[in-house]
Amino acid sequence: MTKSLLNQVDKLIWGDALAKYGLPGRLLTTILRYLHAVLRDMFAGQLTLRAMSLVYTTLLSVVPLIAFSFALLKGFGVDDLLEVEIYLLLEPLGEKGKEITDNVMRLVDNVNGGILGGVSLGFFIYTAISMVQKVEEAFNYAWYVSKPRSFARRFTEYVFVMTIGPIVVVLAIGMIGSLQDEDIVRYLVENRFIGPLFVATNKLTPFLLMTAAFAFLYWFIPNTKVRLSSALVGGLAGGVLWATLGVIVATFIVNSARTMSVYGGFAIAIIALIWLYLNWLVLLVGAQLAYYHQNPAYLRIGRREPRLPSGARERLVLNIMLLVGQAFRDPEASVTIADISEKIGIPSITLEPIVTGLEQNGLLTSTDKEQLIPGRDMARIALRDVLAVVREVGETGSIGEPRWSPAIDEIGARIDMAVAGTVESTTLAELLDNVAREPKS
């Protein structure tokens, strides 16, 4: 009975039963598919597990990150605004949110006061950087990216975000706050027709800021190219979930004061842990939605790695070398695994084992900027050597010397001869020359 029900639900979501109802039916089908994909990924456990891991990392790094931000913002004389923003973030927790903010700020003042020694300061810097690294790893998981940024890119980009991020946030808050003093704004607020709309829009400002922050994270942090439209979809979904979560948590705290009193002094710690966990989970769910928006073909199969047939793998390895060769010949072009993934339409997690095999066989190499270039002179890269990476070695390395049956060994030899006869002694350079001579459509 249960299996039959699941089959009916599956047919309803992935079939075209609702499409006959026009635009509402198609819209409902799309919503159900995204909802099904996200719930499936959550129940698989990895998203929740990574959210828990980020809670632990946050507890270690939140004070160093805020202290670092304060040190920067003091130069602008606007460090007090950051405290207000932290309180606004924890506002759904009510009085507990103010208490948590006060405790965090007290710890930050201790750090700024020079209480820490050299070793402790080094540990604080390490935990601040590891926080961003953990977020990148979680986002890379959501985006099927198996290769993180190089150390040089991580260092420069992390420092950029940690330096510019607080300044941009505080400047945005300051600009929004300064508008309240303008005469035209007062006129709009007092206007009988425009006033309610303006007040409602003003109340949406924290939500819009959070949506913009989420969208920026989805666009910037994954080690792959994320379309701005997909980042905005994920940011909007994350912002809605965050606002909804704030209402739910605030309601829960108000209605469970008696239960919280049982925990006494531990209540604030428990509330903070739950709040952190739910916020990280919302952030990862938004990242997953952004990925599925950019790659809708994976809505149904989810995190199952695509298993390409042998013919597709042969085409794939040749296509990888072709794109790398074309970029290498163009002095103004470069190509990475993310670029190839976008051009071919296959997740980078599927490309990674093949690219690794090409590198191990000296056919490809990767630069410090993660750009792929030929491993040797392209005139000495034979296409049969490229095909051998997926035909003989495969994704998990060589299988050694198997003992085939004589009849099967004979058939396999004829297949190998047929493949060798197809590419003959063609090199990558000759393939590129042939492609360059083809008329462009």
Q: How many CB atoms neighbour CB 210 within 10 A?
A: 20
The DSSP output letter for 393 is I
Length of the chain: 441
The DSSP output letter for 93 is G
CA nearest to 374, candidates 335, 415, 414: 335
pLDDT for the residue 396? 47
Q: How many CB atoms neighbour CB 30 within 10 A?
A: 13
Are the beta carbons of 64 and 130 closer than 8 angstroms?
A: no
DSSP count for the chain of H helices, then E strands? 19, 2
CA nearest to 291, candidates 280, 302, 282: 302
Q: Which residues pair with 364 in a beta bridge?
A: 374
Torsion angles phi and psi, residue 375, rounded to 5: -75, -20
Are the beta carbons of 147 and 222 closer than 8 angstroms?
A: no
**Tokens, residue 356:** 């690794």
Residue 62, helix vs strand vs coil = helix
- Amino acid sitting at position 103: N
Q: How many CA atoms lie within 13 A of 98 on its CB side?
A: 2
| DSSP letter string, 129-182 | HHHHHHHHHHHHHHTT--S---HHHHHHHHHHHHHHHHHHHHHHHHHHHHHTTS
pLDDT for the residue 232? 92
**Tokens, residue 401:** 């010397």
Q: Which residues pair with 373 in a beta bridge?
A: 365
- Amino acid sitting at position 304: R
**Tokens, residue 294:** 């950019």
CA nearest to 15, candidates 3, 1, 33, 2: 33
| Cα–Cα dist 350/353, whole Å | 7
CA nearest to 216, candidates 241, 238, 201: 238
Are the beta carbons of 277 and 55 closer than 8 angstroms?
A: yes
What residues of the chain score a pLDDT lower than 50?
Answer: 1, 116-117, 396-398
Give the dihedral of Cα atoms 406, 408, 413, 414; nearest 10 deg: 120
- Amino acid sitting at position 55: V
| DSSP letter string, 187-216 | HHHH-TTHHHHHHHHHHTHHHHHHHHHHHH
Give the chain's domains with CATH numbers.
Answer: 2-43 (no CATH), 45-298 (no CATH), 310-437 (1.10.10.10)
Torsion angles phi and psi, residue 145, rounded to 5: -100, 120
Look at phi and psi of residue 264 and say left if phi exceeds 0, alpha if psi is from -120 to 50, else beta.
left
| Cα–Cα dist 279/277, whole Å | 5
Angle, helix 23-44 to helix 267-294, in steps of 10 degrees: 130
